[in-house]
Structure 1
Amino acid sequence: MNTALLMLELQNDYFPNGRIPLEKSLEACSRAETVLLACREKKLPVIHVQHISTHPDAAYFLPCTKGADFYNTVQPAKNETVIKKHYPNSFKDTILLNHLIKNQINHLVICGMMTQSSIDATVRAAFDLGFSCTVLHDACAARQLEFNHSAISAQNVHYAFLAAMQPSYATVMSCDDFLQKSGSRIAAVA
């Protein structure tokens, strides 16, 4: 199986002082950074996906703003692929599918933000396109939602979307389990 790490929307607007900070975004990013370093050490391909809002009423990830930039601890290296997108699904109107096919990648290890949006949409699309996916649940973050005048905590949103992905669409595991399974010498941050 040819594996690539897919880093979704680890962008400034999701962090403290951003336009839409997510609960536990710093913790999730710290774990994503650990996995990123391990994948770099193993020379696995890394793909960073950056959302740029094009909707006229968009409030975050606005073009040419600091909020749309990648968070400082997970900046792409020169040899890593960056794909810009405008929809939750990272495959929609992007070069992602062609890039994966060209590089014979058939397994995606996914971390990033938001669990209920880009993570979910991208995992489901990848599955439909024939890719195997592993989602690193503690390297992802969600935000609180509301339905029918009831608040749904960020943790419950996160868990519900992860539960819906597993086992049909993805294998869901912790960063520690992934690093141990891949034989990395780098331990995940607690």
Structure 2
Amino acid sequence: MSKSALIVVDIQNDYFPGGKWPLVGADAAADNAARIIQATRDAEGLVVHIRHEFTSQDAPFFTPGSDGAKLHAKVINQGDEPVLLKHFANSFRETELKQVLDQHGIDELVVIGSMSHVCIDATTRAAADFGYTVKVIHDACASRDLEFNGSTVPAAQVHAAFMSALGFAYAQVISTDTLLN
């Protein structure tokens, strides 16, 4: 029988309006994330929070010790839910994430959070490479506009491109409602 964990990646204050690096749809994604977190808690499942800080005070966002680097109030950890600090896009790199999952006998992951095109992508690919079965909840993730070759790529297209790539080879990509039903 499979055992699942919820990985909440980088839902932090700087990604919200008024933060240093606001994402398109951050509030809606966090609302869905909060629903998923509550359902996981209600089922007495494992919720692991990932919090990113850069190592320099000169970072564009998530500066060490700043309010912007704190978990957003909509998804704050409760009780003994671990909060793992990372300094790289991949939530497994130089963290205890794999050890925490192994200690709990986890073989399936549900991944939510930000940014779709960086940390969600890197974490999902690493999880699949480690042999986990992965679900990414697309409407509990957020992104932002990017630039490529002098053109602006709207956040919705960035998000769709990364979700479609993850769905092609690394994860089942589904909605919050599909997961919860």
TM-score by length of 2: 0.97
Aligned ranges 1:79-118 → 2 under 5 Å: 79-118=80-119
Structure 1 residue 55 displacement after superposition: 4.3
Deviation track 1:60-84 (CA, whole Å, cap 9, x = no partner) reads 1011110000111110002211110
Q: SS in structure 2 opposite 1:29?
A: helix
Q: SS in structure 2 opposite 1:167?
A: helix
The answer for the alignment partner of 2:38 in structure 1 is 37
Cα distance between partner residues in 1 of 2:42 and 2:168:
29
Structure 1: 4+ residue segments shifted above 6 A? none
Unaligned runs of 5+ in 1: 181-190
Q: SS in structure 2 opposite 1:79?
A: coil
Structure 1 residue 98 displacement after superposition: 1.0
The residue type paired with residue 126 of structure 1 is A
The answer for the alignment partner of 2:52 in structure 1 is 51
Cα distance between partner residues in 2 of 1:120 and 1:55:
23
1:130 partnered with 2:143 = no
Structure 1 residue 56 displacement after superposition: 6.0
The answer for the alignment partner of 2:152 in structure 1 is 151
Cα RMSD (Å) of the superposition?
0.9
1:19 partnered with 2:20 = yes
Unaligned runs of 5+ in 2: none
Q: SS in structure 2 opposite 1:127?
A: helix
Cα distance between partner residues in 2 of 1:125 and 1:64:
27
Q: SS in structure 1 opposite 2:168?
A: coil
TM-score by length of 1: 0.93
The residue type paired with residue 108 of structure 1 is L
